Structure 1
């Protein structure tokens, strides 16, 4: 006599390999959400931050913006695993999640994203998708290989005021493109005076497209006296990029680096 279907199901569950059971995932930063989707685990995501807008995550509940998260809001979804990077704020988020007895993993701890390949591997290990993650990480590292060095001075600004210095994601992208970060003497994102814009002499300026209302749009920004006096202003080499591309290291960064090489 054949086993009843429910008995067969119990046997399958009992002998399932570790990592095969579906998780209840909450991804709190868009860089890590991309990895989860690329590894085919989108169906296990029950919560996401507002900026993780992959179509495969459309049904996941929004838990807030990655830079202003609340541990209790995340806990309400009863996740079995919370994933994110250093982009998740406030800094107290991770210890708070663990105080709530949640399994929470900050898989990328560097603000500049230079450990992103390692983050891909870690996510793969946590989700039982080691082989796929290893290939994804290898492909990403190949795409992020350093381009030939060029004396092109890039300046990436969040909002026409804050500039990306050392130890930031834009700095990592600029270096991969073979360029020079004009604001490398600064650490993190710092506001620039009018005099500083001129003194840094950027050949290329990249602005966050999401903050265009703050600086009045690209044309208005380019007309500022201190900007018009820079090599970038004189040559019309001012560009807008979405924050996910210009301000964060992610799976799309190799394509962003190629864009920057051509600027």
Structure 2
């Protein structure tokens, strides 16, 4: 090879190397829709590529400083497209249907994740995000931690001397003037109660439904959980009001002071699912303490 050919080869090699390095290191512009989707991207180390989220995405804290493109169940495709994303990561909860259909026709790459309602859905979501963003090793670590936390909680519950506690979850607790909104079969709350070692006292209903005082007394839960969130769930004050409702005085959870506030995003079913299971399992264990 002549000197000129060698020089040309070296220059070409350097250019190819720099081009490949740039392409590899270039960050994507990612828009995430849904708390579980947002948390998955951040947990896998790509949070610095997220340029916008939706209103249901509240964790990690830094997402609150990002632009928001609406709420997951009432998304405006125009808001998403205005961010000029390279990739949209969204759960199947995105709606309304017309908005979902329109997004699919835009040509923007969209990674659709399963409805976040079980460990299996979380596992699938983490693996899909990891494959898309080349983060398989981190995915294995995230899922191993979650699985370990769930297994430990279920092992704890097997040691309880009493039957599994009957648990009633309120998205919005009842008060003197209105019924509560309780989670029945098919809700994430129902699945989380099961994972944490409890039984859903509202298993006679499906979805989230208003719950009258008469129904609560009939269900007679051992434990009542109230979702706490600014503007969407209950508050510490609403728990106190619930505790003091004379109409619910016969309920076991009221009599035993077993009403607990839990973060609303416990039912997000993102990478922190194991933490939520541990938290609820710990509250259930109080009933079985000597």
Q: TM-score range by the shorter chain?
A: 0.7 to 0.9
Answering whether residue 179 of structure 2 is matched by residue 158 of structure 1, we say no
User: How many angstroms does 1:55 deviate by?
Assistant: 3.8
Shift of 1:153: 0.6
* 1:49 is the counterpart of 2:54: yes
Per the alignment, in what secondary structure is the counterpart of residue 52 of structure 2? strand
1:242 matched to 2:260: no
Question: 2:33: which partner in 1?
Answer: 28
1:63 aligns with 2:83: no
Question: Match of 2:255, SS?
Answer: helix
Alpha-carbon distance in structure 2 between the residues aligned to 1:36 and 1:172 = 23
3-state SS, counterpart of residue 184 of structure 1: coil
Q: What is residue 254 of structure 2 aligned with on the other side?
A: 233
Contact 1:83 1:106 in 2 (8 A): yes
Cα distance per residue 1:80-112 (max 9 Å; x no partner): 111122443334443221122222222122545
Paired position in structure 2 for 1:144: 150
- Is there any run of 5+ residues in structure 2 with no aligned partner, and where? 1-6, 174-179, 284-290
- Judge which range, 157-166 or 20-29, deviates more: 20-29
Aligned to 1:259: 279
C-alpha contact (below 8 Å) 1:94/1:106 kept by paired residues: no
Instruction: State the Cα deviation string for residues 129-164 of structure 1 (Å, max 9, x = none).
Output: 122212322322222226135420111111122111
Q: Which residue number in structure 2 is paired with residue 224 of structure 1?
A: 245
Separation of aligned partners in 1, 2:99 and 2:202: 30
- Map residues 43-192 of structure 1 onto 2, 5 A cutoff: 43-53=48-58, 54-57=60-63, 59-112=65-118, 114-145=120-151, 147=154, 148-149=157-158, 150-160=163-173, 161-192=180-211
Against the structure 1 CA distance between its residues 191 and 113, is the aligned structure 2 distance closer, same or farther, given a 3 Å change threshold?
farther
Counterpart-to-counterpart distance in 1, 2:140 and 2:150: 15
Q: Write the distance in 2 (CA, Å) between the matches of 1:177 and 1:232.
A: 18
Query: How far, CA to CA, are the matches of 2:263 and 2:61 in structure 1?
Result: 17
Which deviates further from its counterpart, 191-200 or 103-112?
Answer: 103-112
Aligned residue number for residue 287 of structure 2: none
Q: Could you say which structure has the higher helix fraction? A: 2
The normalised TM-score by structure 2 is 0.79
Larger radius of gyration: 2
The CA distance in 2 between the partners of 1:187 and 1:13, in whole Å, is 55
C-alpha contact (below 8 Å) 1:112/1:168 kept by paired residues: no
Structure 2: distance between partners of 1:209 and 1:97 = 33
CA distance in 2, matches of 1:91, 1:240: 33
Return 5+ residue gaps in structure 1 as ranges.
Answer: none
Q: Does the CA-based 8 Å contact 1:48-1:60 persist in structure 2?
A: yes
